[in-house]
Structure 1
Amino acid sequence: MHRNLSTLFATEETLHSLHSSPTNTSTALALSSDCPLVLSDYQFALIPVLYCLIFVLGLLGNSVVVLVLCRHNGPKTVANIYILNLAMADLLSLTTLPLWAAYYAYGYNWIFGSVMCKISGSILCLNTFTSIFFITCMSMDRYQAVIYPLRSQRRTLQQASFVAVIVWSLAGLSSLPTFYFRDTFYVERLGVNACIMAFPYEKYSKWSAGTALMKNILGFLIPLIIIITCYVWIRMRLMKAQGFEKNKKRRDKILKLVAAVVVAFLVCWLPFHVLTFLDALAWMNVITNCVIISVIDAALPFGICIGFANSCINPLLYCFIGNQFQEKLQHLFKLRIYQFSSRRQSSSSKKGSSLKEAESPDDLLEVNPDETTA
């Protein structure tokens, strides 16, 4: 196997640089000597910081999304179902980032046990698919709303919930290889207990290349084709719509949002999947140059970080830039302040008659209670 092992054990993809060796114990691991082993210190310091930053920002943004959508008392929409599931998928994967940050900080030494190794790896793989699948569902929903507005009005929340169940099921099936093969093994050469994909030794290269190509095709190429097709048709429909000049400002905003969706999708996932594809070519011995392999292995952790950063971008892209979501967030915030002020006012009125002439919460906040409900 012609592999540089500079980014061993980091995640689902970079773990492919390690392979089982058919020794007497059957669980011992050996490293390929075709290319020199290069471990870069910057990864041990920089990657944990990036993971922690993504964890904090993503946790904050997606938690607000879930809170607003769950506390919203108004009519639910199909788009809200997809956004809520997308935020929950991102939150699920974000919970594992501190573990992977510690993994890097300890020099690729997994200290959380075999069970957590299997669960954490499976969750990351699950999120890789669920995130992109739900983005695709949202793109198709926008397409239907713009191209077939009358038909789209017949969409039901039950249908959207059923689609969400299908998405989670497909993502779960796609993550089964990770759940089955992920495990911890002690690597004597590096002196670490690594969390790796322990594929069968005889077919390790085929399994590694196969899983990488599955991520490329099912987790990127097909969704990308669907997303671009939807937004091209949306743009064409908006440009041809009657009265376009009259509503140019509003429709320009829609087109900008459409462009932002496509660009964010490409920026976050293209580097990761290009590197994953090159990694598959290395496993198939199409790429054998040690310098190129070293570049692939050195870049993979940062490609993965960019992919994780999509969990931070999603709340901004799909929620915070939307006027309706901003209104829901403001209403929820005002409602909390009003309820808090009302409790204080009620408590203060019991202490003495001198407080009876105090200003009401409405006067203090300049908010009508009837307007605070979402």
Structure 2
Amino acid sequence: MAIPNDLSLFNSTSSLYSATKTEPNTSLAPSAPHCPDWPPIPMTIVIPAIYSVICVLGTIANALAVCVLAHASASRRTVANTFMLNLCVSDLLFLLSLPLWAVYYSQGYSWPFGWVACKVCGALHNLNLYASIFFITCMSIDRYLAIVHPLRSQSARDPKRARLTCILVWVLACACSAPIFYLRNTYHLERLGVEACVIDYPDDTWYMTLVWMKMCLAFLLPLLVISCCYCAIGRHLLADTGLVRMQNVSHPNMPSFKSLESRDGCSRPDRPPTPCVSPSFSASRPLEGRGLERVLWTVAAVVVAFFLCWFPFHCVTFLDVLMSDGWLDGCGIDWTIHNLTPLTLCLGFSNSAINPVLYCFIGNHFRGRLGGLCKGLCVRMKVRGDDHSQKRGSFSTRLSSFSRKLSDLKDLAIVEPSGSA
């Protein structure tokens, strides 16, 4: 097994079989960097602080999102909401493990929670990485079907099928995370005197295979699918917008889609225009026409946020792969890999806290349901408080009545002897 170096301590995706296997005598101490002219970043202070902020904000936001989406009415349990709910659950599971990683960094890369927690927390990180992008890809495909093929996709865009798709996504994400769960373990570093939680790759083949699998399945392939979906959506929207303008120019007296909707009672979005459907059909549609663009922009914002958060981490990972194969070398590359890997990982983790915030600020329905949920909770608490006050008042009344009766009995007991005398 390769001798571990400081890279194996700097991040939660670290490995013992690292890129510096050509430098087996490198010092393990973080205070002795490979490039003296490039100052290291104090990870034991910076990383726990960032993790703490992400954990608190992300847990609160995702918990609220799960409550709102899980308590939605049957008419609101759409395909998009099903995918969003599972995405929030995935983020919430990972965020619950983030405090353990914060302690890991704050204690100088020492893992005090045992090898079981090491395996579970490492697996949750990889599970969230795969599940998040898989659910976002499903959401993008669903938007493509709803906008470009609104009529032909009705049978496919069914909430029951969406739930089956979510089950398949969870199974696939678990399968992709299984190798990391198997290889993740605690390893005692004698030079530092710590028990580190690292990935123990058996050889270079395992390392390269799993790294390329992560970059391809969790980034490149979803990027290709999502880009194709949104390019097709963009072309469809532009084409429909141009068609509407041509119709307005050639037929200025033609009624608008809003007027048609008010006449025949059909649900029809202003943009993009779609054929009129009967009220019974529109009632079964997972996506209402009036909220079409709002949901589209919500999903687009989630997609952009994901790639802005995870793209730097995959770039640094790719540099690590190139350095492992000897394609790159130098202090700049070495410093970038050692110091930016944990920071870009923090940026990736922040995506788990950003997603529900996007729902709150962009989705009007979400804000309305969140407000309704809070109002309902306040009403229940008020009613419960009133009931408690009534019970206390009733108990006080009964107690006062009992005291008066007891007092009357005492007075009667005193008066009766004197009367008999």
Q: TM-score range by the shorter chain?
A: 0.7 to 0.9
- Counterpart for residue 240 of structure 1: 239
1:10 shift after superposition: 4.0
* Residue 85 (structure 1) aligned with residue 126 (structure 2): no
Q: Please say if residues 44 and 106 of structure 1, whose CA atoms lie closer than 8 Å, have aligned partners that are also in contact.
A: yes
* Residue 33 (structure 1) aligned with residue 25 (structure 2): yes
In structure 1, what is the Cα distance between the partners aligned to 2:184 and 2:4?
Answer: 21
- Counterpart for residue 338 of structure 2: 297
SS at match of 1:150: coil
- Counterpart for residue 205 of structure 2: 206
1:210 shift after superposition: 2.1
- Counterpart for residue 58 of structure 2: 58
In structure 2, what is the Cα distance between the partners aligned to 1:218 and 1:180?
Answer: 19
- Counterpart for residue 280 of structure 1: 321
Structure 1 residues 96 and 258, CA gap change in structure 2 (3 angstroms): closer
SS at match of 1:186: strand
In structure 2, what is the Cα distance between the partners aligned to 1:166 and 1:102?
Answer: 34
Instruction: Report percent identity of matched pairs.
Output: 40
1:20 shift after superposition: 12
1:322 shift after superposition: 0.7
Which structure ranks higher in relative contact order (CA pairs < 8 Å, sequence separation ≥ 6)? 1
In structure 2, what is the Cα distance between the partners aligned to 1:19 and 1:96?
Answer: 27
- Counterpart for residue 316 of structure 1: 357
Q: Which moved more, 1:83-92 or 1:206-215?
A: 206-215
In structure 1, what is the Cα distance between the partners aligned to 2:124 and 2:211?
Answer: 17
The number of residues matched between the two structures is 341
Structure 1 residues 74 and 188, CA gap change in structure 2 (3 angstroms): same
- Counterpart for residue 366 of structure 2: 325
| TM-score, normalised relative to structure 2 | 0.73
SS at match of 1:149: coil
- Counterpart for residue 43 of structure 1: 43
Q: Please say if residues 238 and 251 of structure 1, whose CA atoms lie closer than 8 Å, have aligned partners that are also in contact.
A: no
1:182 shift after superposition: 0.8
Q: Please say if residues 136 and 303 of structure 2, whose CA atoms lie closer than 8 Å, have aligned partners that are also in contact.
A: no
1:268 shift after superposition: 0.6
- Counterpart for residue 175 of structure 1: 177
In structure 2, what is the Cα distance between the partners aligned to 1:20 and 1:243?
Answer: 61
Q: Which moved more, 1:294-303 or 1:332-341?
A: 332-341
Structure 1 residues 80 and 257, CA gap change in structure 2 (3 angstroms): closer
Q: Please say if residues 82 and 164 of structure 1, whose CA atoms lie closer than 8 Å, have aligned partners that are also in contact.
A: yes
1:278 shift after superposition: 1.1
Give unmatched runs, 5+ long, in structure 1: 22-29, 353-374
User: Out of 149, 160, 163, which is 2:162 matched to?
Assistant: 160
Q: What does residue range 3-42 of structure 1 map to in structure 2 within 5 Å?
A: 5-16=5-16, 18=18, 32-33=24-25, 38-39=30-31, 40=40, 42=42
- Counterpart for residue 191 of structure 1: 193
1:344 shift after superposition: 4.1
| TM-score, normalised relative to structure 1 | 0.82
Structure 1 residues 220 and 345, CA gap change in structure 2 (3 angstroms): same
Q: Over the residues paired in the alignment, what is the CA RMSD in angstroms?
A: 3.1
- For 1:155-187, what per-residue CA distance to the aligned partner results, in whole angstroms no more than 9, with x for missing partners? 222211111111111111111111111111111
Give unmatched runs, 5+ long, in structure 2: 32-39, 249-255, 257-269, 272-289, 395-421
SS at match of 1:274: helix
In structure 2, what is the Cα distance between the partners aligned to 1:148 and 1:252?
Answer: 15
SS at match of 1:335: helix
In structure 2, what is the Cα distance between the partners aligned to 1:173 and 1:86?
Answer: 17
- Counterpart for residue 67 of structure 1: 67
SS at match of 2:9: coil
1:61 shift after superposition: 0.5
Q: What does residue range 345-364 of structure 1 map to in structure 2 within 5 Å?
A: 345-346=386-387, 351=393
In structure 1, what is the Cα distance between the partners aligned to 2:380 and 2:297?
Answer: 38
Structure 1 residues 279 and 207, CA gap change in structure 2 (3 angstroms): same
* Residue 140 (structure 1) aligned with residue 181 (structure 2): no
In structure 2, what is the Cα distance between the partners aligned to 1:250 and 1:66?
Answer: 21
- Counterpart for residue 260 of structure 1: 301
